[in-house]
Amino acid sequence: MEMLTNKADDVRPLSDQRTANKNLLSEYTYYHGMVPPQDVPELLEKDGDFLLRKEQVKKGLLIAVLSVRCDDVVKHFIINKSDKGEYYIENLRAKTIEDLVQSHLKSGEPLSKASQARLKRAVPRQEWMLNHEDIIFRECVGQRNPDSVEEYVGEFVYNNVTRPVFLKTVGITCSRNVRARVMKEARLLRSLRHPNVGEIYGVALHYSPIILVLEYFSKSLHTHLKQNAGQISEEDRRRFITEAAAGFAYLAENGCIHRDISAKICKLSDALEVKISGFSLCENTKEMHESNNIQIAVKWQAPEVLKGGNFSLKSDVWSFGILMWEVYNDGAEPYAGMTPSVVKSMILEDDYKMPVPQASLQLNGNQEKA
């Protein structure tokens, strides 16, 4: 991403380290928080559309940026603050950011001579951009590590209604890669709407930490299978598989490869309806790249993934087959008693496949008779 700024000697980017008020920018309706550059083009539709945001330039350092559409491209301008307390980009200076923006709007003066970018219309925040003040943290459900993604159970207040939620946070000390990965997950989830796919309520972006606010489920399909071993009806097992299949088919139709399918990432609503979650490894087929550095659950992966990291919709189908095995074995671990390395060797060298559960064989037999 190209950052454009003036060439004066007193370039002083406005950063979080130079202001004690983390809400300094939040008062502006066109402030979009730490929305990543990848999300900006779709927000700025016409020439002159602009928004204010923060950009992480290095670990732990955020700066204020004006993003503006100039014909077919979006340009990004660093907002500076002089020692006299004046805000500026190149020539015009003002006591507040709002005054600076209004000066450019009224005068029509470009933000910089080189770019000729002019401000015409402020784009307001989107509905999915949530306020930190509406989010309540209750319990950490993962490891506490400020340099990585942290997960919590909490509450979200919307229209005076409080609902339980699952929270994923990205702190200011996280790397740009970690931040980009989480925002990519949020961008994907915002595009998905299906009865069997977990919902995202939005993202709090105004200041650090970034918080993904997700639909909350008290237990997973895996937990339910284990807790009710031997007591689940064949009808419910078929329903679990059918609902999961509907959710994964929807992902496939939208070009999404989940890459982490198992009974644990299938959550259950209060009505025991399957809801797919765990999208941190999910990729769009149009954006697929080499995936050699990700951690995978060996026992759920297809041979081509174990051999060369080649994920596809077909490898998701293999993983779904292991999920079906889990459903008909009351959540038992696949390849019980074997280490991941042994399982990998048996699959690749011996073409080993687990025995089909007797209950599912009976189901297939009944379907053939029908």
Q: Which residues are catalytic?
A: 260
CA gap 307, 315 in Å, rounded: 12
The label of the residue with tokens 């639909």 reads 215
What are the helix (H) ranges across the chain?
40-43, 97-107, 176-190, 221-227, 234-253, 303-308, 313-327, 340-350, 358-369
Residues with Cβ < 8 Å from 329, sequence gap 6 or more?
357
352 φ, ψ to 5°? Answer: -75, 140
Helix then strand then coil, % of the chain, to nearest 5: 30, 25, 45
b/e code 85-120 from CB counts within 10 Å (16+ = b) = ebbbbbebbeeebeebbebbbeeeebbbeebebbbe
**3-state SS class at 216:** coil
